[in-house]
């Protein structure tokens, strides 16, 4: 739902990563990690990104989105498991003391650029 604001932030952060001394840069790909527990829909994000990227060095960039599974860890018996249903109790010992160790990412990992020099 808020993919437009996120797309704008991606362009902001990615543009800040381009070294200032490089002119005429074209960004070919932005590599993102998006966790499955975030409220981000990849197709909506791509759609919004296309709009935000118009008339910028990002206009032809491909958004490469790596979807990260939700992995939980029990703080009592230390087992880890992948969550596929909204149940956040340990399957082994039924403890409610559960930590989410992946699945909430919304990160820019890297950008791939092309330029002349």
Partner 1 sequence: MLISMYKTRQYYHHKDFHKSPHSHPKSGVASGDKKIIAREIKVVRKVLDVNDTIAQQNRELFSEKGVFVLNVMSSPGSGKTAILEKTLSHVMPAIKSAVIVGDICTSNDAVRLAVSGAPVVQVNTDAFGGDCHLAAHVIKTAAGNFDLDDIDLLIVENLGNLVCPAEFDIGEDFRVVILSVTEGEDKPVKYPLMFRVCDAALLNKIDLLPHLDYDRKETVNNILQVHPGMPVFEISAKTEEGFDPWIDWLKSRVSQKINPNVT
- Which residue ranges make up the site for partner 1 (CB under 8 A)? 1-2, 4-6, 8-10, 12-19, 23-24, 26, 28, 32, 37-39, 55-57, 86-89, 95-98, 100, 104, 106-117
CB of 47 to partner 1, least distance (A): 13
Listed residue (32, 45, 54) closest to 110, CA to CA:
32
Residue corresponding to tokens 């992995």: 71
The C-alpha atoms of residue 55 and residue 90 are separated, in whole angstroms, by: 49
Query: Minimum Å distance from CB 62 to partner 1?
Result: 13
Q: Give least dist CB 77 to partner 1, A.
A: 14
> Which two structure tokens, joined as six digits, stand for 60?
């032809």
């Amino acid at each position: 739902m808020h993919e437009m604001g996120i797309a704008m932030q991606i362009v902001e952060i990615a543009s800040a990563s381009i070294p200032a001394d490089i002119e005429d840069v074209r960004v070919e790909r932005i590599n993102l990690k998006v966790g499955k527990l975030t409220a981000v829909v990849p197709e909506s994000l791509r759609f919004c990104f296309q709009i935000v990227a118009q008339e910028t060095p990002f206009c032809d960039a491909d958004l490469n989105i790596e979807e990260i599974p939700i992995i939980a860890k029990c703080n009592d018996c230390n087992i880890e498991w992948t969550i596929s249903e909204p149940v956040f109790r340990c399957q082994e010992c039924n403890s409610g003391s559960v930590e989410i160790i992946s699945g909430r990412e919304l990160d820019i990992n890297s950008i791939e650029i092309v330029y002349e020099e």
